[in-house]
Amino acid sequence: MEKIEPQNVKGFRDLLPQYAYRKNEIVSTIRKVYERYGFLPVETPGLEYLEILLGEYGEENTKQIFRFKSPEEQDVALRFDLTVPLARIVAQYNDLPKPFKRYQVGSVWRADKPDPGRFREFTQFDADVVGTSSQLAEAEVIGAVVGALEEIGVGKFSVNVNSRKVLNAVVEYSGIPAGRAKDVFRVLDKLNKIGMPNVELELTKGRRDVSGDFIPGLGLTDINVGKIKDYLALPKGERKRVLGELAGLLGPESCEDLKKLDGFLDVLGLDSEVVSFDPTIARGLDYYTGPVFEVNLTDKPQFGSVAGGGRYDNLVQRFTDASLPAVGFSIGVDRLLAALGEGNDKAAFSEVVVTIMDRDKAGEYLKIASELRQAGVRTDLYLGQEKGLRKQLQYADRVNARFAVIVGSNEIEKGVVTIKDLRAGENVSKDAAQREEWLKKSREIQKEVPRKELTAEILRLLAL
């Protein structure tokens, strides 16, 4: 039989246990925080009708949509994000509570050029509020994301906020036709990635990227670009200072929504060190209409934005006549996972491994594992064919278990079990220089307890 080479499709990857474990921890933490804020869970299919997805991401992003024919020969596509499917279900199901606060975690797909750390399938975790134009909704989603990132323990980070209303005012100030606004925003959104000289080229005559492909320019004049550069030179950071500078250059009406949001952020105790106003933030998707946000990790800027979002007041109206303004924030789980370090080599997949020393007593080992599991202890019963203790302890080490439970025939007859502390054993191997010292410390890392006290002792040790 001809062998097939095991390999991934380009742009896709597997997550092995240590990485998947850490990712699940991150998702679980975000879910817990979002539910604390009153967001309700939703799930949508990975496939949507193509017409649902087209026209909302911008021409450049629309090229990245994976398209197919269904078995019924209908045009379908993999979802590009979780926001447009949300707009569809809000319009489709009229009995949802309004405003509707939802969270969703799931894969999205983009036929982008794969790079190190950039994949064609990745996980987003969104929180959205649909059905209110109040800046309280922005404060809620920002507060939820800040809370989630703090509980995950990402270190120092900043939420950077701007507004499409400000950017629309910049387009007018710069003498650019309103119909070119979204093209300008998409270029400005690249500022932190490609730098001002390349942004200037894309706004004017175009440029070649690192692969040699030519990116056409927007054909703006030097006067247009000069005024945009005046705007981009405004200070960023301290919110009230930025508001003053924006009002001075573009007029106070340009930043009314940011001023309201600033007041709510003050109430939440989120100062400018955590949530700042940044005139350079644009966000490249076409459907944004108001405040937009991005999150960057202060000590790991090379990972770029790990979360982003904004207000999209007109998206639901593609599907219904009802006016349902909305705002949302999306955490890029895989980007965050990469920034934090994908694998946790010491993640305890199982807290206890029960070894099997006498296969004729398999029922007793199964009973021990069952009792520990019923007490809430993550317990792995060794299922391999190895009879030797050494190989079984190596297995326990591979799954990063905290303890091994060792019971031979003699122990079963005596009504005792041995608990071996695997973490302490690892430290003994590192620290003990002499054989006598190693033997002494090895005896200290395992203890014999009465069989009936096993579960209570394991729970006590895990609590230390």
Could you read off the pLDDT of 115-140 as tens digits, one per residue?
Answer: 766 799 999 999 999 999 999 999 99
What confidence score (pLDDT) does residue 342 get?
Answer: 58
What confidence score (pLDDT) does residue 286 get?
Answer: 84
The set of residues, in sequence order, having a beta carbon less than 8 Å from that of 118 and lying 6+ positions away, is 112
From the list 462, 449, 393, the residue with the least C-alpha distance to 426 is: 393
What confidence score (pLDDT) does residue 435 get?
Answer: 47
What confidence score (pLDDT) does residue 444 get?
Answer: 64
Question: Residues 347, 18: contact at Cβ < 8 Å?
Answer: yes
* pTM score of the predicted model: 0.86
Query: Topology of domain 17-340, per CATH?
Result: BirA Bifunctional Protein; domain 2 (3.30.930)
User: What is the sign, positive or negative, of the torsion defined by CA atoms of 189, 195, 198, 199?
Assistant: positive
CA distances from 383 to 146, 359, 386 (A): 43, 10, 9
CB atoms within 10 A of CB 128: 26
What confidence score (pLDDT) does residue 438 get?
Answer: 45
Domain-wise residue ranges, the chain:
17-340, 352-463
Does the domain at 352-463 match CATH 3.40.50.800? Answer given as yes
Residues of the chain with pLDDT under 70: 116-117, 342-348, 425-444
Are 17-340 and 352-463 the same fold in CATH?
no
